[in-house]
Amino acid sequence: MSIQAMQRGVSGMRLAERKLAASAHNTANMVTEGFARVQVEGVEAPGGGVDGVEKTLPAEQSPDPVAEIIEQKSAAVMYRANLRTVKTATDMLGDLLNTRG
């Protein structure tokens, strides 16, 4: 069970990284003429956890710096929450091995 929790936590961390990278890309290209924003959304992975799906938004949708800051902060919180899951699963597995060892 704790190995699955670690795998799911890691998949959540990967999703957070992709969301942050997409938002950073949007921020860096905000003033580029004709730039189309990208957005990463989480979808349930077949074996558990999450995968990221990248979508390109219409170019006429103007970039919003405030929305990108919120997206970046949200990705950071998501990353930390999933990291905590991985740490807890690691501790549980360590306790289990110490008990049986």
Domain limits for position 41: 2-100
Taking the model in full, what pTM does it have?
A: 0.87
In the numeric block, which tokens belong to residue 67? Answer: 């929305």
With 90 as the cut, is the pLDDT of residue 100 above it?
no
Q: Tell me: the pLDDT tens digits for 22-80?
A: 999 999 999 988 888 999 999 999 988 999 999 999 877 777 899 999 999 999 999 99
- What secondary structure letter does DSSP report for 59? T
Number of CB atoms found within 10 A of residue 21's CB = 15
Please count the structural domains in the chain.
1
Q: CA triplet 56, 67, 16: central angle to 5 degrees?
A: 65
